[in-house]
Chain A
Amino acid sequence: MLYYIGAISLILIGLYAVLVKKNLLKIVIGLAIVDSGLNLLFIAIGYVKNATAPIFSSESLTADKMVDPVPQSLVLTAIVIGLAVTAVALGLVIRLYDHHKTLDINKIRQLKW
């Protein structure tokens, strides 16, 4: 349960940063925190109490003593995707800074929503 609460509060902290902060870099950091929270949540779903890594390392290790490996492999993929999105976001922030000489989102908005 604790894992779920931790992961969900990470997601909420990230959402807060994205929605409230005015600095572009803080928004990108917020996105990264949301990603981490989601990944931890997924790992927590696959967790089995007192279980170990799903590797057939010894004879006594049976399937009910292992955590679910599927969320772990999915999270690996999700981490890579999150990294790519963050990289693109930072690239765009650099470009916006070059054009506007500021990171304040209120001073940048030119296109109408």
Chain B
Amino acid sequence: MEFSPVHYIAVPLFAAFLIPLVGKVSKELVKLIPGLVLLYLSYGSIMLFPKGMENPIIEIIAGFKPPFGIALYYGATAAFLVTLVTLLGFVIWLYSYKFIIREPIEKYYMLFMLLITGATGIMLTGDIFNLFVFLEITAIASYSLTAFLRDKDSAEAAFKYLLIGSFSSAFFLLTVMILYTYTGTLNLADLASKADMIPANAKGFALLLVIVGMGIEAEIFPLNGWAPDAYSQAPSPIGAVFAGIVVKAAVYAFIRIIFLFFKTPEVLHFIVIIGLITLIIAEMAALRQHQIKRMLAFSSLGQMGLVILALGIGTTESTSAALFQMFNHAVIKAMLFFAAGYLVFHSGSKLIDSVTGLGYDKPITSFFFSLGALAIIGLPPFSGFWSKLNVLISIASEGEILIIVLILAASVVEAVYYLRIIGKLYTRKEIDSNPRRTPISGLLAMGILAIVIIVIGIYPDVLTQWLQPAAENLLNSEEYIQTGLF
């Protein structure tokens, strides 16, 4: 059977239904199924990747040709992001294998599979209402996973997330309605070709709704109040999923809609500004945090602010730099969440101060954390260096010196709070050595990510050759319309 883009959605969705049933028979099998599914999807991604990079693959569902039926659009951008999601998903599964020991395991993996379904669906779909459905699948799975640990704070964080998320979905549904009312179609490519039919005031209202609605999911300041709570109260691998997968899907959907319907210099300028504000506020907030995972969450918001800023610049260089930064953020932040998960587990406290001296007691986990921290600050020879450099170069070629200065200032703040933790890790202090060790699956997951960070850091060309077509696909609405409609 040949691998087709439908499998990205169908296989994990089917697995999500299967897992609770299998859970009645064997718990071990429940743990294995998501791994097998993600292994299959990763294999398929690698097979399909070169084809998608060359020509967009349009998958027609149920025999209705676009614009009437739902079609999947596997273009260069989607190929890049979906491959990232499935490979990262596999590593996250590897980490979860020994980390999630608390019942109900089958619910954890079921929701995890639903998250993968939703995220890949958002990236692949070529239909705006379908996009709404996948956003909701992702959101509902995220709410439930935030509350997975059953304590006071996680229930509260999940409720907060749900409340804000509901607004986001209501606004997005309203956008879909407005676009449908004036164009009479739901297919993204068809909609984009008919965008002129929408009167200016309705378009302005739709743009406002998109920015508020999608801005909540894409974690743009000031709509990201839910994110630090959700990131820090969810189990650590789910923190990695939020940072590496969910927010990537949301930002992709946000920027795809903006580029297709609202691409004017004013809108792009506005996006640059909100990206910049998100970056600066989030980095300042991260500096003030006392809990390690909350700090990572704020740092994540800052990184996404940088991505949104670079996307808003709107040139091919800046867009490919933004995609590079998205890749790096997914990989590095996942590793930081993995390492932080075990640091919290070993020290028994979420506070930053409690990691003091762990660098000697738990050398490997601490090493991975430090490596991730140095990479995300953007030091050579790690991969984070190249993406930040590319972002800065692309902005410099537009001549926006003030933005560069502000980004560098934010980077200094970032460096301060990450180096502070590394300093604490390697401060000698008498602590009771505890016998708990980081299990091998966790170390393996972090090791894979560490290798990726170093290899991409030394040979960035491995990745950057693919960024150009992906960026062009994201920017070129004409091509999207033509290929999406036959």
Contact = CB atoms under 8 A, between A and B. Distances in A.
Interface of A: 11, 18, 24, 27, 31, 34-35, 38, 41-42, 45, 70-71, 74, 77-78, 81, 84-85, 88-89, 92-93, 95-96, 99-100, 108-111, 113
B170 A111 contact: no
Nearest to B143: A88
Nearest to B230: A111
B254 interface: no
A84 to B, nearest CB: 6
Interface in B173-203: 173-174, 176-177, 180-181, 186
B157 interface: yes
A81 B136 contact: yes
Given A84-B140, A85-B136, A88-B140, A31 B166 contact: yes
Contacts of B144: 88
Interface string B34-76: 0000000000000000000000000000000000000000000
A63 B180 CA distance: 19
A78 B163 CA distance: 17
Given A34-B170, A38-B174, A77-B133, A92 B229 contact: no
B421 interface: no
Contacts of B139: 85
16 contacts: A18-B163, A34-B166, A34-B170, A38-B170, A38-B173, A41-B174, A70-B186, A85-B166, A88-B140, A88-B143, A89-B159, A92-B158, A95-B150, A109-B156, A110-B152, A111-B153
Contact of A45 (B136, B181, B186, B225): B181
A92 B155 contact: yes
Contacts of A35: 170
Given A41-B177, A88-B144, A93 B152 contact: no
A96 B163 contact: no
Given A88-B162, A99-B155, A111-B229, A78 B140 contact: no
Contacts of B221: none
4 tightest A-B CB contacts, nearest first = A95-B155, A99-B152, A92-B159, A81-B136
Nearest to B159: A92
Nearest to A88: B143
Nearest to A100: B152
B342 to A, nearest CB: 23
Interface of B: 129, 133, 136, 139-140, 143-144, 147, 150-153, 155-160, 162-163, 166, 169-170, 173-174, 176-177, 180-181, 186, 225, 229, 233
Contacts of A100: 152
A100 B173 CA distance: 34
B129 A24 contact: no
User: Would you call the interface of chain A mostly helix, strand, loop, or mixed?
Assistant: helix
Contacts of A85: 136, 139-140, 143, 162, 166, 169
A34 to B, nearest CB: 6
A70 B229 CA distance: 38
A74 B129 contact: yes
A27 B163 contact: yes
B156 A111 contact: yes
A92 B152 contact: no
Contacts of A96: 152, 155-156, 159
A41 to B, nearest CB: 7
A77 B137 CA distance: 12
Nearest to A71: B180
For B150, B152, B174, the residue with the greatest tally of chain A CB atoms inside 10 Å of its CB is B152
B181 A92 contact: no
A92 B170 contact: no
A13 to B, nearest CB: 14
Nearest to B166: A31
Given A84-B140, A92-B143, A92-B147, A111 B166 contact: no
B162 A81 contact: no
Nearest to A24: B159
A74 to B, nearest CB: 6
Contacts of B162: 85, 88-89, 92
Given A31-B166, A38-B170, A70-B186, A110 B159 contact: no
Contacts of B169: 81, 85
A93 B159 contact: yes
Contacts of A42: 173, 177
B180 A95 contact: no
Contacts of B159: 24, 89, 92-93, 96
B229 to A, nearest CB: 5
Contacts of A34: 166, 170
Contacts of A109: 156
Given A45-B181, A74-B129, A108 B156 contact: yes
A92 B174 CA distance: 26
Contacts of A41: 174, 177
A95 B158 CA distance: 11
Nearest to A78: B173
Contacts of A89: 159, 162, 166
Nearest to A89: B162
A36 to B, nearest CB: 11
Contacts of A110: 152-153, 156
Given A31-B166, A84-B136, A92-B159, 14 more contacts: A27-B163, A34-B166, A38-B174, A41-B174, A42-B177, A70-B186, A78-B173, A81-B169, A85-B136, A85-B162, A99-B152, A110-B153, A111-B153, A111-B160
